[in-house]
Structure 1
Amino acid sequence: MRSGWLIGSAAAALGVYLLMWVGYVQGWVWLAGIDADVLNPANRFGDGRPRWVTAWDVLCTLLGPGAFRLAVLVVIVVALVRRRFRLAVFLTVTVELSAVVTETAKYIVDRPRPDTAMVSALSTSFPSGHALGVMVSVAALLTVVLPVVRPALRGWLVALGIAVILVVGIGRVVLNVHHPSDVIAGWALGYAYFVACLLLVWPSVPVIERAEKPAVLDNAH
């Protein structure tokens, strides 16, 4: 039942990604209009406010996929030392390899960055690598952490994860380095990729079920 729900939600997310992709390629007026209606006010507000721009740039860097991948790499090394191989494989496939998914998708679509970008950014625009990478990283970490924390904390952790995902995605639009459709596509593809990884390398601990002991992670190998 849970697997069926995951597959259905991933399929819906993939559909959203394809919709954003086709909309860009076909030049759909309504989608281009939404992108412009969001980017232009953000650019006007940021123009002449360097501190505002710098604050968002720093925030997106500190909470960006690069920071997550570096932190998770440490966790992976610790997991390998402690012989928690399944945990290490899961985090490697999801968090670390999401960079390959991002660059592959960007290469295929090859959408230019908005002309109004207020900071420099590498690579192309579609999908947002920050949106995709942070979506995968947060989802993967919640999958690992939720079963071993007190039930009272789980809702707060999920809310914090959602907030991080939203703030980083919004920040990329505020900085005008991504169109809103890029960010939506990044979220969608990131979620679909996470679910695919979860189904292929399912952690030994259920995603939401209560775990009586933190030691259950020892069963990950």
Structure 2
Amino acid sequence: MKLGLRLTTASVLALLVLVPFALIAALVSGGWGPLHDLDATVTDALHGWAVGHPHATKATVWWTNIFGPTPLRIAALGLVIWLLRRRARRLALWAATTMVVGGLLGALLKLLVGRHRPDLLDPVARATGYSFPSGHALNAALAAGVFVLVLLPVARGARRWVLWGAAIAVTVLTGLSRIVLGVHWTSDVVAGWLLGVAVVAVTAAAFPRVRATPVVEEGLEPELAQSPASP
């Protein structure tokens, strides 16, 4: 009964988030003019700002490198190791699975859609590979969701606000950095955010939980706060 409820919840969450993602993907694949025009308008405006503010652009490059997919995956691996030391094996498996599944989906969708990156006359940064969805935005959303849902049980009081604030800031600013640097269209970044949220929501809904407490308040495994670390 509980498994059926979790699967139903996962399906509803998937629909709520994946429908707008699928719509954006369809419009991108179909070359819908208004979306392309909106993307181009935002890219031109932010690129002009980046060219005129070299110091801010340099800081943006630092940010996008620090919170790129590889550093975030390394951070997630560190979290998995920490969970294993606390004997939270199911939670460690969930965190690893969420990051891997999200990353593989993003890579597969890049190949399927095959969208080219912005081609600017005076680029301030360069990136290789296809553009849709943004891997930086996707992995930022994945990592943020994983860290929040894992660490909520051990974060109390103001620390929870700090945890949520840091997760939102990393996700939003990392995605925006890709548009400012002219290596992604806006719709790439929005799609990356949506896909990341969808993967976290679905895997979290399917996670077997002992207590039916709200995950956004108590995390996936509230018992983690009492879990001892292994020697």
TM-score band, normalised by shorter chain: 0.7 to 0.9
CA drift at 1:168? 0.7
Alignment of 1:1-150 (within 5 A): 7-47=11-51, 49-116=53-120, 117-150=123-156
CA gap of 1:209–1:52, structure 2 versus 1, over 3 A, is closer
Q: Secondary structure at the match of 1:124?
A: coil
User: Unaligned stretches of 5+ in structure 2?
Assistant: none
Task: Give the distance between the partners of 1:114 and 1:12, measured in 2 at CA.
Answer: 29
Equivalent position of 1:187 in the other structure: 193
CA gap of 1:80–1:212, structure 2 versus 1, over 3 A, is closer
The superposition leaves residues 90-142 of structure 1 with CA deviations (integer Å, 9 ceiling, x where unpaired) of: 11111244221211111111101110253121321000001111101101110
Equivalent position of 1:214 in the other structure: 225
Equivalent position of 2:171 in the other structure: 165
The superposition leaves residues 26-80 of structure 1 with CA deviations (integer Å, 9 ceiling, x where unpaired) of: 2222211210110001112222544332211110111222211101212223433
The superposition leaves residues 164-221 of structure 1 with CA deviations (integer Å, 9 ceiling, x where unpaired) of: 1111111110011110000111011111111222133346575223858721488xxx
Task: Give the distance between the partners of 2:91 and 2:124, measured in 1 at CA.
Answer: 39
Report which stretch shifted further, 164-173 or 96-105. Answer: 96-105
CA gap of 1:72–1:110, structure 2 versus 1, over 3 A, is same
CA gap of 1:84–1:29, structure 2 versus 1, over 3 A, is same
Task: Give the distance between the partners of 2:197 and 2:208, measured in 1 at CA.
Answer: 15
Q: Secondary structure at the match of 2:59?
A: helix
The number of aligned residues is 218
Alignment TM-score, normalising by the size of structure 2: 0.83
The CA RMSD over aligned residues, in Å, is 2.6
User: Unaligned stretches of 5+ in structure 1?
Assistant: none
Question: What code does the residue aligned with 2:71 have?
Answer: A
Task: Give the distance between the partners of 1:170 and 1:6, measured in 2 at CA.
Answer: 28
CA gap of 1:209–1:76, structure 2 versus 1, over 3 A, is closer
Report if the CA contact (8 A) 1:10-1:191 is conserved.
no
